[in-house]
Structure 1
Amino acid sequence: MEYLPNIIFVILLVAGIGYFVRNIQKLIRNIKLGREVDASDNKSQRWNNVVKIALGQSKMVRRPVSGFLHVVVYVGFIIINMEVLEIIIDGIFGTHRIGQQVLPTSLYGFLIGAFEILAVLVLVAVVVFWLRRNIIKVKRFLSSEMKGWPKSDGNIILYFEVVLMCLFLVMNATDTAFQQVGSGNVISQFIAPWFEGFTPDTLAIIERSAWWLHIVGILIFLNYLYFSKHLHILLAFPNTYFGSVEPMGKFDNIEAVTKEVKLMMDPDADPFAAPAEDAEEEVPAKFGASDVMDLTQVQLLNAYTCTECGRCTSACPANLTGKKLSPRKIMMDTRDRLEEVGKNIDANNGEFKDDGKQLLGDYITAEELWACTTCNACVQECPVSISPLSIIMDMRRFLVMEQSAAPMELNNMMTNIENNGAPWPYNQMDRLNWKDE
């Protein structure tokens, strides 16, 4: 019976990490449903983006208030959970505050003291975040796509953080031996008096209960991430690495289409000439994207990384003028459809069974797609390098090239280009008449 707590701890640890790994494997499987992307170029720039954007939070602080609070929570939560290493060692080997035994008292006290200060700062930031969402009701959290689960998810994660930080402080405050050392208890020393009058045995029970609830809470939080927008805590790093390093206004072209356009525009071109040996002229099986399997793996990674912060939508000129488009909804719909496809595969022994649905139409409408002005505001604003525009453009490409379903204005323009060599409805012989006016 002496080792029973250790055995229980190991079982919980293995179960928690095992379930997390299983879900991450599903996530990777789902992302790999997309088309492969070559990201072997510009490695130095990609790593610079990881350090600057994902680790350094450079795009978060463009909005100072929410950016600063997010940095506090991000830094605090990550650093405080460094103590999880000590908890794991104590849980497996039955020790108590192993760090206090192997590290100099001053160093251990400095670390725990820093953790306690950060815990309080995280609590303050979380309270402000909760007020912004539920009392002040910042406009970008009130969109139609933020009702139901997305709204609850945003609050649940805040409650998680409050509970975990409070358990950490209570655990320290009721640890009599830790308090007697008087090193590192910069915050918990003011909480300890709340428990005066309790017997040593009762204090030990409270401390152990807080310790167990803290580690169990962390394991629950870890596995909750897969079902939450807070998966970006992990995916922001690969997402910024695989994000586009091309100029923001540059679109990807289909080589086969580019060749046809060049033939149309060059009167001396020979359409029957043999292609160059290194030419990539393979015509794709489908132009554009109508479902998640037609998107790239990077775009699917984008969908899972979306933080649902709404910065993209709040900067979108189409949305600001009352159009139906919300770049955040584009990402959320893509993720929801991808999850639906993943569950379909799980239910059919690893194979996708046609369910009669697709991303285009069942989740994202043509009206949303054509409302986009392609201004890149959403891409510029995203704090983790997500590109809703790339998905919008691929789905537009499908509408135009596979279904000939472009708006009348666009069809007229393309007809004019084909017949007149310009977007305007003037005969080529009359194109220079303006200079005579």
Structure 2
Amino acid sequence: MEYIYKILFAVILILGVGYFAKNVKKLVRNIKLGQDVDVSDNKSQRWKNMSMIALGQSKIVRRPISGVLHVIVYIGFIIINIEVLEIIIDGLVGTHRVGLKFLPTSVYGFLIGTFEILACLVFVSVIIFWIRRNIIKLARFWKSEMTSWPKNDGNFILYFEMVLMTLFLVMNATDVHFQTLNSGNIISQFISPWFSGLSEGTLHIIERGAWWIHIVGILTFLNYLYYSKHLHILLAFPNTYYGKLEPKGQINNLEAVTKEVQMMMDPNIDPFAAPAEEAGEEEIPAKFGASDVQDLNWVQLLNAYTCTECGRCTSECPANQTGKKLSPRKVMMDTRDRLEEVGKNIDANNGEFKDDGKQLLDDYITKEELWACTSCNACVEACPVSIDPLSIILEMRRYLVMEQSAAPVELNNMMTNIENNGAPWPYNQMDRLNWKNE
């Protein structure tokens, strides 16, 4: 019977890890659909950002209540899952609490005791998160873009964590041998009396049941991440590493456009030569800006998958606060949803994308949303994992202006005035004093 359990455990482990690896491969494929961008500069600063923001949670704690609770859950969940290593070894080899064979009882007890305290803290923090989301109903969790799945996803993950923490404590509380050690059962010793009327055989069944459900639950949680906003647990690290290093007010220029302007101002350039001949055909992009996810760069697509849907960006957005339709969170969610749709299209067509008549612009993100943005960077500053919704908005605006000439009337008037008068106002350069009244 023991061999059957070992084989069953190995099969479950292989299936769980294998399916996760398959989804990771698909994730990387989708992100690589984006345009190439060089982010190999300033490695020391990038490592520092990753250490401070992703590992150190430095931006999370700017909002103290949710920040401290998140740190507890983050640290607790990671450290508690060290226990998974022991579970895996026990499952494959057929041992029971293999750590006791290699560690002194006091050391092993200290580790498990620490895990139990953290499990209790995680459970309490998750309950508070649930109350904030469902009873207090914080406004940022109930915006229009938080439809059934995004709203339920947040609760599902909280239930997952509650169940996993409970199973861990029950597993310890019903382990008769562990309880007799009287070392490490800091929390479970108070749960153990709940099962005092049961026989040792029944306790063993409960302990083994909790053990099996716990490891299956962890593997299920691992594979759930791909479909959940909690994918940021993994992607926050590369996302903060590849995050923007330039000052937030600095907007990138298209090299081909910059080159063309330089040529126009260079008296040595032949004005009758074709621009492509002067600039080089390869430097002129096929499309200015972005109308679909494939036009964005891969870091922006990584941003979309990393979005935590916490809503801090939208809660800080002045356009959203004044009732406009723009929600930076929705921009990231729409980008991810469209990217997933494109990925499924590729899967269904043997690795090739078949035009589905849809795109990110208009089908997901409207022009009204794009032009509502004030470019203030409040969303970028607020994001706890270095996501940049503004860069996507600007690329889509660039497409509207340079490819479709679809800028708002006010912007077209301004650009016409700059072209004709050298200033945004409708006055001739001879009437400069009139500008001061505008």
The TM-score range, normalised by the shorter chain, is over 0.9
**Count of residue correspondences:** 435
Residues 287-325 of structure 1, C-alpha deviation per residue, up to 9 Å, x if partnerless?
Answer: 000000000000000000000000000000000000000
Q: 1:270: Cα distance to partner?
A: 3.4
Question: More deviation in 420-429 or 208-217?
Answer: 420-429
TM-score (norm 2): 0.96
Residues 105-160 of structure 1, C-alpha deviation per residue, up to 9 Å, x if partnerless?
Answer: 11111110010000010011000000011100000001011121000100000000
Report percent identity of matched pairs: 75
Is 2:269 aligned against 1:270?
yes
Q: Which residue of 1 is the match for residue 314 of structure 2? A: 313
Taking only aligned residues, the RMSD between alpha carbons, in angstroms, comes to 1.9
Q: 1:267: Cα distance to partner?
A: 7.7
Distance 2:93 2:253 in 1: 58
Conservation of the 8 A alpha-carbon contact between 1:256 and 1:281 = no
CA 1:277–1:115: 2 relative to 1, 3 Å: farther
Distance 1:433 1:205 in 2: 87
Q: Which residue of 1 is the match for residue 156 of structure 2? A: 156
Q: Which residue of 1 is the match for residue 172 of structure 2? A: 172
Alignment of structure 1 residues 368-407 onto 2, 5 Å: 368-407=369-408
Distance 2:280 2:49 in 1: 32
TM-score (norm 1): 0.96
Q: 1:280: Cα distance to partner?
A: 10
Q: Which residue of 1 is the match for residue 197 of structure 2? A: 197
Q: 1:283: Cα distance to partner?
A: 1.0
Alignment of structure 1 residues 240-319 onto 2, 5 Å: 240-264=240-264, 266=265, 268=267, 270=269, 272=271, 282-319=283-320
Distance 1:109 1:280 in 2: 69
Q: Which residue of 2 is the match for residue 188 of structure 1? A: 188
Secondary structure of the structure 2 residue equivalent to 1:3: helix
Distance 1:407 1:304 in 2: 31
Conservation of the 8 A alpha-carbon contact between 2:229 and 2:308 = yes
Q: Which residue of 2 is the match for residue 361 of structure 1? A: 362
Q: 1:101: Cα distance to partner?
A: 1.5
Amino acid at match of 2:388: S
Amino acid at match of 2:210: A
Distance 1:303 1:433 in 2: 46
Amino acid at match of 1:23: N
- Structure 2 gaps of 5+ residues are none
Q: 1:269: Cα distance to partner?
A: 6.2
Distance 2:217 2:250 in 1: 45
- Structure 1 gaps of 5+ residues are none
Distance 1:221 1:23 in 2: 13
Q: Which residue of 1 is the match for residue 110 of structure 2? A: 110
Distance 1:99 1:119 in 2: 19
CA 1:267–1:339: 2 relative to 1, 3 Å: closer
Residues 143-179 of structure 1, C-alpha deviation per residue, up to 9 Å, x if partnerless?
Answer: 0111210001000000000000000000000000000
Distance 1:197 1:418 in 2: 87
Amino acid at match of 1:217: G
Amino acid at match of 2:90: D
Q: Which residue of 2 is the match for residue 416 of structure 1? A: 417
Secondary structure of the structure 2 residue equivalent to 1:145: coil
Conservation of the 8 A alpha-carbon contact between 1:35 and 1:295 = yes
